[in-house]
Amino acid sequence: MLRNGASRLALRSIVAPYAARPTANFTRTASSFQLTAQFGSLASRRPQLAQLKPAQSAILRRCLADKMPDEQKQAESRYANEKLKPTPETVSATSSTHPMFSEVGTATPQKEIDMMAGMRHDVGTIKETFNLSEVPREAYYMGLAGTLPYLATSLTTVYLSWELNHANAGYGYMISEKNATFILSLVEPLQIGYGASILSFLGAIHWGLEWAGYGGYQGYKRYAIGVVAPAVAWSTLLMPVEGALITQFFGFVALYYVDTRATYRGWTPNWYAVYRFVLTMIVGASIVITLIGRSELPDHVPGSVDRAKVFTEEGSSEEKLAEHQAASVDKKKEAARSDNRGEK
């Protein structure tokens, strides 16, 4: 059957809307099986309520409202119209939390009282007070090394005193009585002279601080510290041994007090007062040990005053000293003869 071009165009316009156009169908479908890593806390879902749709939520609320008794409805309406009163005194850092290791609804168990808390606090206070971390290491080590000769002479005095007390027929445990007396006569002026040097040095430190202008220029106030300390220190060389040691002890304590006040006023570094306390404690303990050792010396051991009297008397000093030693030996022999411990 023959058709012209107009009829074919009209037929194509009618059929075209209903004709399916060829399209590429490359749709991807997700696999129903999927592996999920369970290494993270977000990968595994925690137990929770199922998500409800709005319609389901409305139905659930209506069912719960129908089953609610009248008393509960009245309470809910009363609570809805009630105003909340602020109570800030009941709110704390732990009022809205629950302890991990206790039961719900029970009181939190009280912690045991630490009986050593006070002692630990006192020990911590002492450590903070005598903290030497700010002291320069060079000054700290040199200061401690400077106290060693003083401590050595003190211990030597105690040992020699013990030897002289336990000497038998002129012989001690390690050295003889004569040698112990001779060494003691050398240790006495050595300790006193070294103590005078230390005391003078501690006073001279303030001259250096004044020249450096540390804490400002104080003038005669700070210069006087460096003058009085050597005057007291070197005057002890003219005193008897016990008097010299006691004078130096009070000199070290007085200078420590002055240094503490100077630190408080800013004339010295902040660590200087604690540093001086440690050194003064060692030197003061050494002086006390020496005095205890000298108190145990026998009566026949000549002191510095006795030796000075021998040299100032008429005649040869060597002869006088020999006579004095001979008299001491005779006195000891006489004491041995009068000893009647062997008699019944």
Cβ-Cβ contacts under 8 Å for 298 (sequence gap 6 or more): 164, 165
Q: Are residues 290 and 202 in the same domain?
A: yes
Least confident of 205-209, 284-288, 295-299: 295-299
Q: Are residues 262 and 311 in the same domain?
A: no
pTM of the model: 0.56
Would residue 239 count as lying in a domain?
yes
Q: Are residues 177 and 324 in the same domain?
A: no
Percent with pLDDT over 70 in the chain: 67
Q: Are residues 175 and 215 in the same domain?
A: yes
Would residue 236 count as lying in a domain?
yes
**Considering only CA atoms, which of 151, 244, 121, 158 is closest in space to residue 193?**
244
pLDDT band at 53 (very low <50, low <70, confident <90, very high): low
Range of the domain at 310: 299-331
pLDDT band at 47 (very low <50, low <70, confident <90, very high): low
Question: Is the distance from CB of 153 to CB of 190 less than 8 angstroms?
Answer: yes
Tokens of 275: 């540093």
Would residue 192 count as lying in a domain?
yes
Q: Are residues 279 and 232 in the same domain?
A: yes
Would residue 82 count as lying in a domain?
no
Would residue 107 count as lying in a domain?
no
User: Which residue has tokens 């408080």?
Assistant: 264
Would residue 170 count as lying in a domain?
yes
Q: Which tens digit of pLDDT belongs to each residue from 317-328?
A: 566 667 777 787
Beta bridge mates, 176: 171
Domains held by the chain: number: 2
Q: Are residues 259 and 327 in the same domain?
A: no
Q: Are residues 150 and 287 in the same domain?
A: yes
pLDDT band at 103 (very low <50, low <70, confident <90, very high): low
Q: Are residues 305 and 229 in the same domain?
A: no
Would residue 46 count as lying in a domain?
no
Q: Are residues 250 and 188 in the same domain?
A: yes
